[in-house]
């Protein structure tokens, strides 16, 4: 008989709550448990509270996980649910990403007011994005339009768009689909042309390394192809010291026992870019991603990274 109640930590935005409930429901189904065996604990993070500045100015990706990881480390939480693309490549001591739910759509969606796509926007149009990767890719594609930093929850960004603060914005299509809002997208971008962030579209579970009970709990919801892809993409990020201060794209695809990876690094203005690819066995995912990161770093040269501060 189930006696322990597992505490699942999450941020409080609508998308974060959707993801936490999805993980809870998957865990309950996998073990034949009732949903009341899990308590969803909502925490406010510094990244959620500070929305008027770029993440690069206030500390990067860890701002969305710090409070959750503190409670996870000291036992107040049993596991935490995150968007994988928000996770730093180095985690606090004693914690790890123990499972990755099957990945959703990896693509970026355009939401525009008066034009369906980035190509159709008029010269001088204003596009808002919080992501340095998206900003750099937009500038690379359309150097004639203005790109501004644009943060907030999905609903906040869409409201600002309706108010006319920007002509268009970009969001992860996976997030829109999880919120049943995919119909707001006016265009969905080809990942071969507009590659996604490492980890985009994947929900991850963070837990304590020594917690064998939680390891047993999450094992059935860990999607092995997604896990391998994320190992590859995160290794690529780590080799480049990837953070919210760096425009980096990367996507790994797993088919059977094989994995294929493609990555891209850009200068913030989008004028210079270096692409890299690699492939091999999925069991070597991390090594493939790491080698790709090291190779593209050497290829770009030290001057390329001079402004990545």
Is residue 157 within 8 A of residue 141, CB to CB? The reply is no
Q: Which residues contact 98 (CB under 8 A, 6 or more apart)?
A: 79, 205, 206, 207, 214, 215, 218, 222
3-state secondary structure of 187: strand
86 in active site:
yes
Superfamily assignment of 108-188 in CATH?
Answer: Periplasmic binding protein-like II (3.40.190.10)
What value does the mean pLDDT take over residues 296-302? 90
- pLDDT of residue 226 exceeding 70, the answer is yes
Q: Which of 25, 48, 52, 86 is catalytic?
A: 86
3-state secondary structure of 251: strand
Ranges of each domain in the chain: 1-101+202-222, 108-188, 223-300
Pick 223-300's CATH classification: 3.40.50.80, 3.40.50.720, 3.30.160.40, 3.40.630.10. 3.30.160.40
Is residue 6 within 8 A of residue 79, CB to CB? The reply is yes
- pLDDT of residue 229 exceeding 90, the answer is yes
Q: How many CB atoms lie within 10 A of CB 307?
A: 10
Task: Find the helix or strand (DSSP H, E) in which 73 lies.
Answer: helix 66-73
Count of residues for the chain? 309
Radius of gyration for the alpha carbons in the chain, expressed in angstroms and rounded: 19
Q: What is the pLDDT of residue 37?
A: 96
Q: pLDDT tens-digit profile of 139-153?
A: 999 999 999 998 788
Is residue 266 within 8 A of residue 300, CB to CB? The reply is no
Tokens of 21: 């409930």
Q: Using CA atoms, how far apart are residues 205 and 84, in angstroms rounded to an integer?
A: 9
Q: Which CATH architecture has domain 1-101+202-222?
A: 3-Layer(aba) Sandwich (3.40)
What value does the mean pLDDT take over residues 109-128? 96
Q: What is the pLDDT of residue 2?
A: 54
Domain 1-101+202-222 and domain 108-188, same fold? Reply is: yes
* pTM: predicted TM-score of the whole model, two decimal places: 0.91
Is residue 140 within 8 A of residue 266, CB to CB? The reply is yes
Q: What is the pLDDT of residue 1?
A: 43
């Amino acid at each position: 008989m189930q006696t322990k109640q597992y505490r699942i930590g999450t941020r409080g935005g609508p998308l974060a709550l959707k993801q936490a409930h999805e993980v809870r429901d998957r865990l309950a189904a996998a073990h034949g448990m009732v949903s009341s065996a899990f308590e969803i604990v909502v925490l406010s993070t510094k990244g959620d509270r500070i929305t008027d500045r770029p993440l690069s100015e206030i500390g990067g990706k860890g701002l969305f996980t710090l409070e959750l990881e503190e409670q996870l480390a000291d036992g107040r939480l049993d596991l935490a649910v995150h968007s994988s693309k928000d996770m730093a490549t180095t985690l606090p001591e004693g914690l790890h990403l123990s499972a990755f739910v099957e990945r959703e759509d990896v693509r970026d969606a355009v939401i525009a007011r008066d034009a369906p796509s980035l190509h159709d926007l008029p010269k001088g149009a204003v596009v808002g994005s919080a992501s340095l990767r998206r900003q750099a890719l937009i500038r690379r594609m359309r150097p004639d339009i203005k790109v501004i930093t644009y943060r907030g929850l999905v609903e906040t960004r869409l409201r600002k768009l309706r108010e006319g603060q920007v002509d268009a914005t970009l969001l992860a299509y996976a997030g829109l689909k999880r919120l049943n809002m995919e119909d707001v997208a006016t265009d969905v971008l080809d990942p071969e042309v507009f590659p996604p962030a490492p980890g985009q579209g994947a929900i991850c579970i963070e837990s304590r390394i020594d917690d064998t009970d939680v390891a047993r709990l999450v094992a059935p919801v860990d999607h092995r192809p997604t896990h391998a892809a994320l190992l590859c993409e995160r290794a690529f990020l780590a080799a480049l010291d990837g953070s919210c201060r760096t425009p980096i794209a990367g996507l790994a695809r797993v088919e059977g026992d094989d994995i294929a990876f493609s990555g891209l690094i850009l200068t913030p203005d989008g004028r210079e870019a270096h692409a890299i690819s690699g492939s091999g066995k999925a069991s070597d995912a991390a090594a493939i991603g790491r080698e790709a990161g090291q190779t593209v770093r050497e290829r770009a040269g030290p001057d390329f990274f001079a402004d990545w501060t």
